[in-house]
Amino acid sequence: MAFLSRCIRATALFVGLLLAPLAFAGVNVNTASQTQLESLPGIGPSKAQAIIEHRTNKGTFKSLQDLDAVPGIGKATLEKLSSHVVFDGESTSVPKGTSSKSQSQSKPASSTGIININTAGQAELQSLPGIGPSKAVAIIQERQDNGPFSSCGDITRVKGVGKSTAANMASRCTTD
C-alpha cells in the first residue's frame, strides 16, 4: 500500500512539473485585455488602461524595459511583473496568489471567485480588480485597526481605494 501511495505521489509530481510551464506562461502585454492586465501583480485599472493606451499609440512592447515607458509603471512594478508577462504568444491567467512577497494565509476563495474582504489574505485580495500588493496589505491593516467592513463599498475606508475601484470589484466582493 505504501509503495502504491508513493507511486501516485510521484506521478502527480511529474504531471505537475510537466504542466507547470503552461500555467506560468504569463500574460501577453501586447494582446491582453484590460481584465487580463489587471490580473497582474501591481496592475490596477488605471495602469492596465495606460498599458493599452501606450501600445495603441506607440506600438507593441518588445521587452520588460519597454513597459518602463508607461506612465505609472516604475522599477518596483517591473520587478513584480518580470515573471508574469510575455511579449508574444497567447495570454494565460496569472496564477492566483503569485507574488514575490510572502502571502498571508487565509481560508481559500470560493469556487465562484467571490472574495470576502473581511477574511481574505493578501493573495486573495490581490485577485480583485484594482488591488495590488500594497493595497491588499492596506486592506488587511485597515480591518485589523478599525474592525470588519460592513459592506463592500466600505472598502473606500482604505487610503488609495476609491469609489471606482470599489465599483469594479463589487461583483466579486462580499463581507459575509
Q: What tens digit of pLDDT does each residue of 21-68 get?
A: 444 457 888 888 888 888 888 888 888 888 988 888 888 888 878 888
Yes or no: domain 115-174 corresponds to CATH 1.10.150.320: yes
Write down the pLDDT at residue 158: 93
Write down the pLDDT at residue 174: 92
Extents of the domains making up the chain: 27-86, 115-174
Write down the pLDDT at residue 10: 63
Write down the pLDDT at residue 149: 94
Determine contact, residues 43/130, Cβ cutoff 8 Å. Answer: no
- Kind and range of the H or E run holding 85: strand 85-86
Q: In the CATH hierarchy, which fold is given to the domain comprising 27-86?
A: DNA polymerase; domain 1 (1.10.150)
Write down the pLDDT at residue 91: 56
CA distance 125 to 116: 9
Write down the pLDDT at residue 95: 42
Q: Is the dihedral of CA 111, 116, 117, 123 positive or negative?
A: negative
Which residue ranges of the chain lie beneath pLDDT 50?
Answer: 17-24, 93-111
Query: Are 27-86 and 115-174 in the same CATH fold?
Result: yes
